[in-house]
Amino acid sequence: MWEECRDGDVVVATYTAPPMNYHTDAAVGRLEEMIDGWAAGDASAIVLTGGVAGRFITHFDVDQILANQEHPDPVFDAPRRSRRVQAVLRRLNDLPQPVIAAMNGDTMGFGYELALSSDVRVAQRGDYRIGLPEVRLGLIPGGSGLTRLGKLVGLARALDLILRARVLTPEEALAYGLVTELADDALAASMEIASELAAMPSISVAIAKKALYEAIDLPLDQALRIETEASFRVKQAPEIMRPMREYLALPLEQRRAWLDPDRSA
């Protein structure tokens, strides 16, 4: 089941369901409860990870899927489970905090749908598999994975991956654009990213995230209107003056290093 802890300004949510770390309907409910808390809380970043060695979330519990097929929802309620999962994952996009998936093992099916719904995906090097193998089980992704993967990598590549039920190694997933980066320790790397994000002006991070999700699929003129509105709203926040003043207080020769601390450390 999902458990969360606080590390400074960062919330770490860990899913543990040995031995296979399959996700369940009950765990969807717990995830929904946690998102309620994050939306109302003051954390600066969220990290999602797996609590079973070698597994982020293997996929959804096939026993539960099969049981639902044998005893389906009433016709007017169906497909209730898919709609619920999609709504929960969409709420990760609506959070003001950035969400990082520390993919510390196998990440398939619902596990990869959860990662796709995160803002940053860090995959751990190792003999792990990443992707959406639902077609091999006689299913198709229904928790938003089919649509999100198509948007992420394009139609041709999504067709190849989904129709053939291909699951990739972490290195292949990076080459295909399924993950953001690789790390020897996905959780440690994700915590570094989360700490970096937590140090940024939170209002700027939140509004930039919101504007990107709202504008990404719109025609240029509509997207630019969202960008203009977002930029204006950020400038109304008094806290954004501090980093600008900090930057301007530096000698000219030190300003680029301030903007690029990773390569200047």
The one-letter amino acid at 60: F
Backbone phi, then psi, for 93, in 5-degree steps?
A: -70, -30
Nearest by Cα to 99 from 29, 169, 39: 39
- Cβ atoms within 10 A of the Cβ of 244, count? 10
Alpha-carbon distance of 50 to 82, in angstroms, equals: 22
- Under 8 Å between Cβ of 235 and 201: no
225 three-state secondary structure:
helix
Nearest by Cα to 56 from 10, 110, 7: 110
Q: Which two tokens stand for residue 202?
A: 């939170």
- Annotated catalytic sites, by residue? 113, 134
Which residues touch 246 (CB under 8 Å, ≥6 apart)? 258
The one-letter amino acid at 240: I
Alpha-carbon distance of 236 to 252, in angstroms, equals: 27
Q: Which two tokens stand for residue 196?
A: 């970096």
The one-letter amino acid at 10: V
Q: Report cis status (omega within 30 of 0) of the bond before 19.
A: yes
**Strand 99-103 with 45-50, pairing:** parallel
**Strand 99-103 with 167-168, pairing:** unpaired
